[in-house]
Every structure is written in structure tokens, then in C-alpha cells.
Amino acid sequence: MIDIHTHIIPCVDDGSPSLEESIKMIKHEIDIGVDTIICTPHHIYGRYMKSVEEIKEQFELLKGEVEKEKLPIKLLLGQEICYSHREDQITMLKEGKLLTLGDSNKILLEFSFTREPEDTLEVIYNFSINGYKVIIAHVERYEWMTYDKVLSLRNEGALIQINSNSYLGLTTWKEKRFTRKLIKNGHVDYVASDTHSFRPSTLDKAYSKINKQELFMMDITK
């Protein structure tokens, strides 16, 4: 299994407070069958704004500890980018000030949970014409999102990611119902854990229920 959305790098966002906690989280991922983790710390304007250099420094420390303990896991680097009109995020990506997933052309893009951007489809289009493929993070968590809007986003070229906890009903009934409808109708491209130190990965449990291996094994670099 490949987990494309995690907050495992220590001391860069709200995901892990220490290297020791990060290693504990990685060991849990290994125990449930994950063999590749994409580390995606938050980038949220005005809140989580660690530089790429700071993130890479902590990432290399984590990789060093993983190698020291000989843990059977592959770590890749990315970011969960919260869209903001206050930043030129396309230019930031081109200048290396924001990160794609595993050096691919794919970006993990988050939106405001409560306020729908006026130009959501245009946002996807603008990233696309600049060579980036948008994966929308945890689409079920946005209060403004509807089934028809997901279809419109997919028609614009976006890929859809849901959280395993939502599918399993560990969050809200609304999120469970929404994710199951999306999967039933073939509108989910990735299931991921969105794991934090306070939110253990449940990919294995979701996998056993969905029983569709392609949702977990898609190569992010293609």
C-alpha cells in the first residue's frame, strides 16, 4: 500500500511533535502493510509556512533514523498545499518554494473547509495548463462540497482523494455516506490516511472493506 497523504515529518506542522513520535507512526504504517509513504506537511498561508529548506532538513533527519533502524519503508517528500488567492502558488511551485508529490507533477491541494472558493474550477485549470495535476485532499471534509461538484472537478482534470477514517465512519455519518457514494460510482482516485500523531493510520481497515487494490497501488510518479 502507498499512503500519499501523511503528516509524519517531525516539528514542521501539527502532525508529529518529535522524531520519536514520527518513528512510532512509521512503524504503525509498516505493521498495517504500507510500504511507501509520501510525507505531506501542511502549507497554510499565515499558519504553517515552513520553508522547503526547513522541511527537507527534518525529512532527511527522519530518513536517517529510518535507515538507522533498518525499517522497511520508502519515504517520499511532498506537501499538502492549502489554496490561497493571497499567494502565487504556481510560481512558488516553479521556483521550488512549494513541493509536488515525490518530484512528480502531482500536487496535493487542500481547500477551506467552510468557504468555497469562487473560482474552484479555474484554480484546477490554471494548475493544469502550467503542467500540474491536482489531487484534491480529503474531498469529503469540505462543508460546501457536493457530489455534483466532485464530478465537475473531475471533468476539469482533478483527481480525488478521500481519508480512510471517513470511509470507515470514524468521523461523521455524512462523510461516511459521501465517501461510500463516491467509491461506489468510481469517483475516488486515492484513499489515504491523513495520519497525524493523534490520528493513527487506518488504511488496512479501509482496504479490507473496499477490496479494490488499485486505489492504493497507483504510482504517484506516473
Beta carbons of 10 and 22 less than 8 angstroms apart:
yes
Which residue is listed with cell 468510481? 186
Which residues are 1's β-sheet partners?
none
Residue 214 CB partners (closer than 8 Å, separation 6+): none
Residue 29 clears pLDDT 60, i.e. is over it = yes
End-to-end CA distance of the chain: 16
Which residues are 192's β-sheet partners?
163
Mean per-residue pLDDT of the chain: 94
Which residues are 2's β-sheet partners?
36
pLDDT digits (tens, 9 = 90+) for 116-145: 998 999 999 999 999 999 999 999 999 999
Beta carbons of 60 and 22 less than 8 angstroms apart:
no
pLDDT digits (tens, 9 = 90+) for 189-209: 999 999 999 999 999 999 888
Beta carbons of 75 and 106 less than 8 angstroms apart:
no
d(CA 76, CA 83): 22
**pTM, to two decimals:** 0.94
Coil, helix or strand at residue 41: coil
